[in-house]
Amino acid sequence: MTETPAVVEVDRTLTRGELDEMVDRFATALAAHGAGPSGRVGWIMANRAEVLAVALAARGLGAPVVAFGRRCTAEELTGRIAVAAPAVIVVDGAERQRVQDVADGVPVLDVTEPLPEGAGLVAARAEPTGDTDRLGAGASLLFTSGTSGRPKAALRTRGDRRLAERIANGFGLGAKTRFLVSGPLTHSGPWTCALMSLSRGGTVGLLRGFDAEAWLDFASEHGMNSGFLTPTQLRRLVRAGRDRRDRLPTPTHVVVSGEPFPDALKREAVRLFGPGFVECYGSTELGPTTALHAREFADHPGSSGRPFDGVEVAAFRDGRRLGAGEEGVLHARTPLAFDGYVGGDERLGTARREEQAPGGGWQTVGDVGFVDADGYVHVTGRADDMIISGGVNMVPADIEAVLGGHPDVRECVVFGVPDPVWGQRVAAAVVSDTDLDAAQVRDWMRGRISDDKRPYDVLRLPELPMTANGKVSRPALAAMLAAVRGADG
């Protein structure tokens, strides 16, 4: 009987035994460099089996894991290393030199070189003795964006095994899972789900980056039935899949999260791939908080699902909990909330400086939305993305919902740009096969939305710019529009 693989890559496959052996060798090497409860393990690598092995080895040693992004500049990496203060940094060959240049004496372990073998290995299995509160990864330090622009990372040491099991069940992760990761493992979503899948006896497939055709090919060839995607990535899969209906994978539980998931995209994805999708609302700081299975998409339009048992979500305004359907800043109360930030001076509790924190364990990452009468959570935008024009608050997602209905618009993103009179004005970026301009868009939207919400500027692009985590980058779009304006004089 053929052993079920633990990790599948484009050019190699590891069995469970081979992965366990790799974990033990890493544990020995990391322990020799001081990794442990007071010695963090940093890593900066492309998606590869060694990333998962390092995580499991560090967990066995009780060492928090620190993920450094590969897109960091030398200055950013220097700042992140100073904030995280790791005992050792694990790299692949491509990253070794630039990390050594800024590591300031921190030992650097290159996974492309031989690791210790033989007797005396430190035991560091995926389920270490006494660590009963966790499923998958151990303590971690994940860098996240902040309004101050200074490096800071979300530290997570707490766990709740019962809630983690409910989340894994909700995502359909188990021994038959073949979970495909195409976004960077520095992102908390694929990181958490991949390690949960391994802990439950499943298989993890790893791609070095996201490409729609490569994703479809790999998923079909290796029978991948699960994974993690942002809506932007899923939209590109749908576009690529329309012309290859006879070679499409058949997912059963693909987690979609990280951005608003439009109802039109939900319908198209289900029509093309089947009902194998689970929308999740969550964050690096608070973990997964809600789930909505495809079978509920039609009955709960605009929703991201109900909170997992053990998690509460509510909208607040000025410290007051709002009633059903009332829009405010979304807060969650969950045992999986992070400990706090390392570096920077931000704290959870307020999405905007003037927003009064409700207290009582409620925390927020600044999302705006409401909870309906049936307990389903609706995320309508982010406080940070809010466009304030002439004193009027405008949620980009509301405008995108209208603009996305234009027959010539394949993708769209709405964002605010500075205006000398109104403070900000509405701009949009569109992917279209026609020469759409601002005048045409404004004319089409007349009567479909209030005049002040019709975009004054329209940037037509072949595709929308994405961050490393697979989300659309609004700051990049604003910079591109500014450059176009400057070129036009």
pLDDT at 475: 84
CB-CB contact of 162 with 217 (8 Å): no
pLDDT in tens, the chain (489 residues): 567 899 999 999 999 999 999 999 999 999 999 999 999 999 999 999 999 999 999 999 999 999 998 878 888 899 899 999 999 999 998 899 999 999 989 999 999 988 766 545 555 544 443 444 566 667 898 887 543 445 578 888 888 889 999 999 999 999 999 999 998 898 889 999 999 999 999 999 999 999 999 999 999 999 999 999 988 899 899 989 988 877 889 999 999 998 888 898 999 999 999 999 999 999 888 999 999 999 999 999 999 999 999 999 999 988 899 999 999 999 999 999 988 888 755 545 433 434 556 778 899 988 889 999 999 999 987 777 778 787 677 878 889 989 999 999 998 999 988 888 788 889 999 999 898 888 999 999 998 988 889 999 999 999 888 877 777 888 889 889 988 876 555
- Under 8 Å CB-to-CB from 155, ≥6 apart: which residues? 64, 139, 140, 141, 338, 339, 340, 341, 342
Q: Which CATH number covers residue 470?
A: 3.30.300.30
Q: Are 338 and 156 in contact (CB under 8 A)?
A: yes
What is the spatial distance between Cα 131 and Cα 135, in angstroms, rounded to a whole number?
Answer: 9
Q: Which residues pair with 379 in a beta bridge?
A: 369
Q: What is the largest CA-CA distance in the chain?
A: 75
Domain final residue pick, 383, 409, 438: 383
Q: 369 and 231 in one domain?
A: yes
Same domain, 249 and 332: yes
352 and 247: one domain? Answer: yes
- Domain match, 173 and 321 both: yes
- Residue 224: closest CA among 272, 258, 173, 286: 173
Q: What's the predicted TM-score (pTM) here?
A: 0.81
Domain boundary among 383, 412, 443: 383
d(CA 324, CA 374): 8
Q: What six digits make up the tokens of 217?
A: 């090919």
The tally of domains found in the chain comes to: 3
Has residue 137 been placed in a domain?
A: no
CATH number at residue 89: 3.40.50.980
Residue 440 shares a structural domain with residue 359: no
Which sign does the torsion angle of CA 442, 447, 448, 454 carry? positive
Same-domain check for residues 203 and 85: no
Does residue 192 belong to any structural domain of this protein?
yes
Q: Which domain holds residue 467?
A: 387-487
165 shares its domain with 70: no
Contacts of 195 (CB under 8 A, 6+ apart): 52, 55, 56, 136, 137
H or E element at residue 328: strand 328-333
Confirm whether 290 is domain-assigned.
yes
Separation of alpha carbons 37 and 285, rounded Å: 21
Nearest residue to 269 (alpha-carbon basis) of 298, 239, 243, 244: 239
- Helix (H) / strand (E) element for 398: namely helix 396-403
Give the pLDDT of residue 130. Answer: 40
Burial environment of residue 196 by CB neighbours within 10 A (0 to 12, 13 to 18, 19 or more): buried
Same domain, 220 and 275: yes
144 located within any domain:
no
The Cα 39–Cα 449 span in angstroms is 55
- Per the DSSP assignment, residues forming a β-bridge with 281 are 290
Rounded CA gap, 442 and 340, in Å?
Answer: 44
Do 303 and 326 belong together in one domain? yes
- The last residue of a domain, from among 96, 131, 166: 131
Q: Quick one: which H or E segment has residue 381?
A: strand 377-382
Whether 120 and 195 map to the same domain: the answer is no
The pLDDT value given to residue 342: 85
- Whether residue 138 lies inside any domain: the answer is no
What's the CATH code of the domain at 288?
A: 3.40.50.12780
Q: What is the number of other CB atoms lying within 10 angstroms of the CB of residue 317?
A: 14
Which pLDDT score is estimated for 456? 92
Joined together, the tokens standing for residue 48 give 């590869």
Query: What residues are paired with 388 via a beta bridge?
Result: 393
Exposure of 447 in the CB half-sphere (CA atoms within 13 A): 2
Same-domain status, 431 and 379: no
Residues 364 and 419 in one domain: no
143, 152 Cβ separation under 8 angstroms: yes
